[in-house]
Amino acid sequence: MSTTRDEVLASLRALLGEGAVVVEPHELERYEKGWRYGRGKALAAVRPSSTEEVSRLLRHASAAGLRVVAQGGNTGLVGASTPDGSGEMLVLSLERLSRTVEVDPVDRTVTADGGVLLSTLDAALAGHGLLFPIDLGADPSIGGMVATNTGGTRLLRYGDVRQNLLGLEVVLADGTVLDLMRPLRKNNTGFDARQLFVGTSGAFGVVTKAVMRVVPRPVQRVTALVGVSSGAAVLGLLARLETQLGEVLTAFEAIGAAALAPVFRHQPRLRDPFGGRPPAYTVLVELSSTLDPSRLALDDLLESALGEQLEAADGGEMTDVFPGKPSELWEIRHGVSESLRQEGEVLAFDISVPRSSMAAFVDAARETVAAGWPFVRFCDYGHWGDGGVHVNLVWKPEDAPRPTAELKAELQPRLYDLAVNRFRGSYSAEHGVGPHNQAFYDLYTPELVREVCRLLKARLDPAGLLGTVRLG
């Protein structure tokens, strides 16, 4: 076995060069462990630096029967970017395939290699007054964002990756390079093959390049935190602000009291405007515009819009309004996930329901948890503007009557059933599909859809060598 392993590693080094193959355990570790879920053992991490090298690698892996999982920024949250525990898979890291970032201001597009990170893309676009409008509290790669169809905090205004993707270059399991790189905004010529690779977790091919639509970069942003007394009142505020503010409303994020309090416990540098008494919901409202303040005074607009809401709200639906610097208020919002992790065991859900059902869903989920698992804290926050909510269930292991694994096995089916069957929602609003939620993909995906996926997989990756997700 060790000879075989050595032979495989030698062949990979001969194929791509010594520096492209990582095998030392201390170096390999970061490719083997996911951000939240996923911990496996890799044969090696291989780091090609061009499409041609990815093609050569996959052709070789296919001939040798080696299984491969693509990895970009490794910020995915469903355990899909890391190898299984067999020690036989290769991690195909895109980190060295990250040289090309070409901005075309006339087409208003950016062409980037699959391993380019969002922060790099943003820095390149800033110089042209342009923006790739996907924004989140992590720094993922282009290929990973395509494979998970990333949403983010400004989806309300700009849509998700799918809605901003124009062209794609993909390498299939046998090394074939599929060129779908036409940067066209209109192209109604039948089946849209790009969509095979969006949100399918790298199961059908490895994304080596993409053309993305970009937008004029806002020159001003203003934000405020708004205290709101209930989920129903959050929805009322959203509807009124959308009517009042139109397209300048860029983000509308709501954080439940139980999710907000830990942020100030664990991030002492952040100022708590509520003085330790958070309202039922804290809404982060952001407006942005490409017009400068002399033509459109956004801070006045936000102040007057929220002032009107505060006056009109009867029954104390809105409790407070705190305007603040965008960077500081977003730090509070982005600090939620990490702060909750420091509070004990966390079982995280990434759920969406129709926007109109958000409050009813969250109330029903909270009641379900309180009735069956009273030692669990129900912490919810997320993208209410898009009908997305991250429910985090938090408990201290010493308070729990049963081991964590048993509790997770009880809680997951209950909340997913509620979201999918009772509220016609999704068990994975934006994080995609991976080993973490494979069982629920199997449960909720119509059989005909899975059959089509099996047919596609049989054509694109007949030996089933790519990825850790089973779509068929």
Ligand X SMILES: Cc1cc2nc3c(=O)[nH]c(=O)nc-3n(C[C@H](O)[C@H](O)[C@H](O)COP(=O)(O)OP(=O)(O)OC[C@H]3O[C@@H](n4cnc5c(N)ncnc54)[C@H](O)[C@@H]3O)c2cc1C
Please report how the helices 2-16 and 51-64 are oriented relative to each other, as an axis angle in degrees rounded to 10: 160
Output the DSSP codes for 89-155.
EEEEE-TT----EEEETTTTEEEEETT-BHHHHHHHHHTTTEE-----SS--BHHHHHHHT---TTH
Least distance to ligand X from the beta carbon of 142, Å?
Answer: 7
Please name the residues in contact with 212: beta carbons below 8 A apart, sequence gap of 6 or more.
109, 110, 111, 112, 132, 142, 161, 164, 165, 166
The three-state DSSP-derived secondary structure of 69-87 is EEECCCCCCCCCCCCCCCC
Chain centroid to CA 331: how far?
Answer: 17
Nearer to ligand X, 35 or 322 (CB): 35
Between 137 and 183, CB nearer to ligand X: 137
- Report the residue number, 77 or 305, with the smaller CB distance to ligand X: 77
395 token code pair: 């408990």
Exposed/middle/buried for residue 359 (C-beta within 10 Å: 0-12, 13-18, 19+): buried
Q: How far is the CB of 1 from ligand X (least distance, A)?
A: 26
Residue with Cβ nearer ligand X (208 or 289): 208
Closest approach, Cβ 114 to ligand X, in A, equals: 4
Nearest to 367 by CA among 415, 428, 420, 416: 415
As measured in angstroms, the least distance from the Cβ of 44 to ligand X is 16
Residues lying near ligand X in the complex (CB under 6 A) are found at 35, 69-77, 80-81, 94, 114, 136-138, 140-141, 143-145, 147-148, 150-153, 201-202, 206-207, 337, 430-432, 434, 467
What's the closest the beta carbon of residue 54 comes to ligand X, in angstroms? 9
CA 329 – CA 318 distance, rounded (Å) = 18
Query: What is the rounded distance in angstroms from the CA atom of residue 422 to the CA atom of residue 357?
Result: 10
Instruction: Tell me how far, at minimum, the Cβ of 81 lies from ligand X, in Å.
Output: 3
Q: Which is nearer to ligand X, 211 or 318 (CB)?
A: 211
Smallest separation, CB 38 to ligand X (Å): 9
The burial of 389, by beta-carbon neighbours within 10 Å (0-12 exposed, 13-18 middle, 19 or more buried), is given as buried
